[in-house]
């Protein structure tokens, strides 16, 4: 997490800097808007700008837009600057932090921008297999495609690969391809030369050059515009990039990691993703299982999050009851680890006792944990039953399956043809024709009030 603080570094803003550094951020300082823009152009990038609310935030945001630099901005100032805070938000600031700074608020903003926690905690065999493969390939320069549902920890795995690679001491640069508008993404990746477009008042270094000698993570690569994919393919193949408006290629030495929560093979078939780019990215595929398929991780992460948020909020030690632990294992967790973390953070804050029971835990939509676990269990049973029935039909002809369905329905209605036809959604005439055909073939067809004998 790289934080660039813009403004006079004194007093309360200096305290905010210390808190950010204690929260794990790498902090740089620019006393003016001009120096901030020059710093970003030079490739000393940032993941977040923390700007004194008394600065001309509208001018800074306009300068960022003009030079196609996409970085979230948070304003900060003393609580009496209410009008300035409103103006900053209207100008485009994502958030406003009042000063003097609050340690928890600073940490929350940093966490929101960083998105994924740095902890890499796993216990389940399904995840152990993924980590074992990651350990095998970490030391190579092979491109890696990390796939899985949203919230499964793809970026955490990417950071793990970098930390265990021979490039660990070099930069790890991440760019979210889904979060940056198409018009800005090319400049974010490859940079631009002075005069390349209106507003380009100087050379700007892009993410490829920022990551030189290190690792570049292309997060949610499936959302990249198709036209930009060809330029990315050349950069990966030849390790050469072209700045927007540049006259000669720039060599780079980086390792490429990419993530996607979509099936890229389907995207190729749909024509929204280049097949040759997929081949370049997918030298090794690390597929992360969904959290619901990692019960060992649910248990370990649940205990970890409860302890973490009890401590962070200055509360007494809290534990999950055995019933809550069972219910957590049975919940569907469509948002995976991120949803589990938010759910348990909320449970810690709202719990009235040191023992957190299932009734004290609710999902984001308000559904009780026990209800969600029960619904998920029923859904899993129905899916399993459907799969069993589907497998039982394999190897049989459509005519055989149709005959059994018709006769079973007739059996259910005790031979009532009209009722059976309504259930099957066919006309009574069609049903009679089918039954006559079955009788001619030697199959027993029950009459009204009769049932077939059951073995």
Rounded Cα distance between 123 and 145, Å, is 23
What is 2-114's CATH topology?
Rossmann fold (3.40.50)
pLDDT in the model for residue 182: 82
Strands 240-241 and 250-251: antiparallel
Rounded Cα distance between 225 and 308, Å, is 39
Instruction: Compute and round to an integer the Cα radius of gyration of the chain.
Output: 29
Grouped pLDDT means (10 residues each) for the chain, 455 residues: 77 69 76 89 81 88 86 79 80 81 66 54 91 94 95 92 92 90 89 88 90 94 92 92 90 95 92 94 95 92 91 87 89 89 90 88 73 56 54 73 87 84 87 89 78 55
pLDDT in the model for residue 439: 87
Instruction: Please check whether residue 93 is in contact with residue 71, taking contact to mean a CB–CB distance below 8 angstroms.
Output: no
State CA 23 to chain mean position distance: 23
Instruction: Please check whether residue 412 is in contact with residue 447, taking contact to mean a CB–CB distance below 8 angstroms.
Output: no
**Domain 125-287, architecture per CATH:** 3-Layer(aba) Sandwich (3.40)
pLDDT in the model for residue 397: 83
Rounded Cα distance between 435 and 375, Å, is 40
Beta strands in 177-304, from DSSP E residues, in sequence order: 215-219, 240-241, 250-251, 255-260, 284-287
Taken in order 342, 348, 349, 352, the sign of the CA dihedral is: positive
Evaluate whether the domain defined by 291-376 bears CATH number 3.40.30.10: no
What is 395-455's CATH topology?
Arc Repressor Mutant, subunit A (1.10.10)
**Location of structure tokens 């899993």:** 380
Helical segments of 195-270, H only: 207-210, 226-238, 264-270
The single-letter DSSP state of residue 27 is E
pLDDT in the model for residue 140: 94
Contacts of residue 433, Cβ cutoff 8 Å, sequence gap at least 6: none
**Same fold? 2-114, 125-287:** yes
Q: What are the domain boundaries of the chain?
A: 2-114, 125-287, 291-376, 395-455
Biggest CA pair distance of the chain: 97
């Amino acid at each position: 997490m790289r934080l660039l603080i813009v403004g006079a570094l004194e007093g309360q803003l200096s305290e905010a800097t210390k808190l950010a550094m204690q929260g794990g951020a790498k902090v740089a300082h620019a006393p003016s808007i001009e120096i901030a823009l020059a710093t970003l152009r030079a490739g000393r990038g940032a993941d977040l700008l923390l700007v004194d609310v008394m600065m001309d935030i509208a001018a800074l945001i306009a300068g960022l837009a003009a030079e196609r630099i996409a970085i979230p901005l948070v304003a900060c100032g003393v609580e009496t600057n209410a009008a300035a805070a409103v103006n900053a938000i209207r100008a485009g600031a994502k958030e406003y932090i009042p000063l003097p700074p609050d340690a928890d608020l600073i940490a929350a903003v940093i966490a929101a921008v960083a998105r994924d926690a740095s902890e890499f905690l796993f216990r389940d065999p399904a995840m152990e297999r993924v980590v074992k493969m990651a350990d095998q390939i970490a030391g190579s320069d092979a491109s890696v495609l990390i796939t899985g549902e949203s919230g499964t920890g793809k970026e955490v795995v990417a950071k793990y690969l970098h930390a265990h690679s021979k490039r660990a001491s070099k930069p790890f640069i991440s760019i979210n391809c889904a979060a940056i508008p198409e018009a800005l993404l090319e400049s974010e990746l490859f940079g631009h030369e002075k005069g390349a477009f209106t507003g380009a008042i100087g050379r700007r270094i892009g993410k490829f050059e920022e990551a030189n000698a290190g690792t570049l993570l292309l997060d949610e690569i499936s959302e990249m515009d198709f036209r930009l994919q060809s330029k990315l393919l050349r950069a990966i193949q030849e390790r050469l990039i072209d700045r927007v408006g540049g006259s000669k290629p720039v060599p780079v030495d980086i390792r490429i990691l990419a993530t996607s929560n979509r099936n890229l093979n389907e995207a190729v078939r749909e024509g929204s993703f280049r097949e040759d780019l997929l081949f370049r990215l997918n030298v090794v595929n690390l597929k992360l299982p969904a959290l619901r398929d990692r019960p060992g991780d649910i248990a370990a992460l649940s205990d970890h999050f409860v302890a973490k948020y009890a401590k962070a909020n200055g509360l007494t030690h809290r534990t999950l009851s055995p019933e809550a632990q069972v219910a957590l294992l049975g919940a569907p967790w469509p948002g995976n680890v991120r949803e589990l973390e938010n759910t348990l953070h909320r449970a810690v804050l709202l719990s009235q006792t040191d023992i957190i029971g299932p009734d004290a835990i609710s999902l984001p939509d308000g559904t009780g944990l026990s209800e969600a676990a029960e619904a998920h269990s029923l859904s899993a049973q129905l899916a399993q039953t459907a799969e069993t029935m589907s497998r039982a039909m394999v190897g049989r002809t459509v005519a055989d399956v149709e005959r059994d369905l018709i006769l079973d329905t007739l059996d259910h209605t005790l031979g009532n043809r009209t009722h059976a036809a309504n259930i099957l959604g066919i006309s009574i005439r069609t049903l009679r024709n089918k039954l006559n055909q079955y009788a001619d073939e030697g199959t027993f067809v029950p009459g009204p009030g009769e049932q077939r004998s059951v073995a």
